Amino acid sequence: MTVITKRIDQIKGEKRTICLGRFLIDVPKNAEVVYGPARVPVYLSRLEGEGRNMEATLKRATATVSSQLKYADEELNGQNSMLGKILAGAGEFHKMVFDVDRAVGSYYNVRSYIRIGKDLYLQEYPVSGKDSTYLEATDLLTEVARSLRSRADDEIPNEPGVCLDGAFLREPSRYMLEEVTLGIRLKEFPDVHMAIEMTKKDIFIESDALEPRMIRAKQAAIKSGMGKWYSQIKLLRSGYRQLGGWHGFEVLAHKPAQKHEGENHEFAFQSHGEPKNPLLPVLQIELHTGVKGNTTGSTKPSITDEEAISLWDTVIGSIRPRPMAVHP
């Protein structure tokens, strides 16, 4: 058995199952898994261990409102303004604070704080200050808070809903945007990074396609005088691929070194999915090697082409819908 074969067997060895959104993914047992930002339907952030500091957080949030008044249009400063007010939501562990949206002075920034066990979760929802349109936002934020519960890292729920970082969102009663992201880092090969993003979208968006972006990248390289370098890229695999229910396009490349970047692998898969289908969201997967300090090509890749392909196929080939991911 060669050294490479042994290392591939190591990569394919013991695994653990991760719940992401409405899907399950098998990753190497020792891999570090990092959940990225999630939108349900606006961004939700986990403030790990901050649950006990909820009251202090609310006080700081309301105390800063006065310094934000310079960004507010007149209608947010009127007699019926909600600025600085705290609304009760789904229970004693859910509060909403009204601040000013800095980008649009006639909009509130509604901050929703949800205490789930030891953690605090935050959502921010920009909404018009005209009339009572903010009520729709507070209703939606309250529904999210009411449907959110804690989830252990190794828990795979058997009910409909969405797996998030340390939490689980029970099946919403209304249609809403869903976006989840996950980063995978290998303990044995720290320069190898994988990223997975799933987004349920309302419509088909042509710019999501991977193949046209490849063509534009080649044209841009030639135009900038990098045509010779581009021609030296080792294309390990390229073409249309079916991954479970997804029909998408895949590119696996080993890029040569250039002036400010060392050699590295760059793998990508992308599928449009099916609009409004929670079990066929837009799917984007990437793998990079030679990563150090979040900079690609800053160190020599620790795995070979064969090993990179094996890791790629093992992880992405395991993506599957979680049983009971949606209502039957």
C-alpha to C-alpha distance for 235 and 225, rounded to whole angstroms? 20
* Residue 229: per-residue pLDDT: 65
pLDDT of residue 204: 72
Domain coordinates of the chain in residue numbers? 3-40+177-321, 44-148
The pLDDT of residue 328: 66
Q: Are 309 and 237 in contact (CB under 8 A)?
A: yes
Q: Which residues of the chain carry a pLDDT beneath 70?
A: 1-5, 206-209, 211-215, 217-227, 229-230, 328
Level-2 CATH architecture, domain 3-40+177-321: 3-Layer(aba) Sandwich (3.40)
Q: What is the pLDDT of residue 79?
A: 79
In words, the CATH class of domain 44-148 is alpha beta
pLDDT for 13 equals 76
Instruction: Count CB atoms within 10 A of the CB of residue 93.
Output: 15
- Nearest alpha carbon to residue 76 among 36, 105, 103, 102: 105
Phi, psi of 324 (to 5 degrees): 70, 25
Report how far residue 173's alpha carbon sits from residue 93's, in angstroms, rounded to the nearest whole number: 21
Helix or strand (DSSP H, E) at 237: strand 234-243
Asked if 116 and 150 touch (Cβ cutoff 8 Å), the reply is yes
Determine the residue type at 72.
Answer: A
CB under 8 Å to 206, separation ≥6 — which residues?
none
Other residues' Cβ atoms within 10 Å of the Cβ of residue 253? 17
Instruction: Find out whether 152 and 17 touch, Cβ atoms under 8 Å.
Output: no
- Cα(215)–Cα(27) distance, integer angstroms: 32
Same fold? 3-40+177-321, 44-148 = no
Nearest 5°: the CA angle 213, 303, 5 is 120
CA distance 218 to 227: 8
How far apart (Å, rounded) are the C-alpha atoms in residues 282 and 157? 23
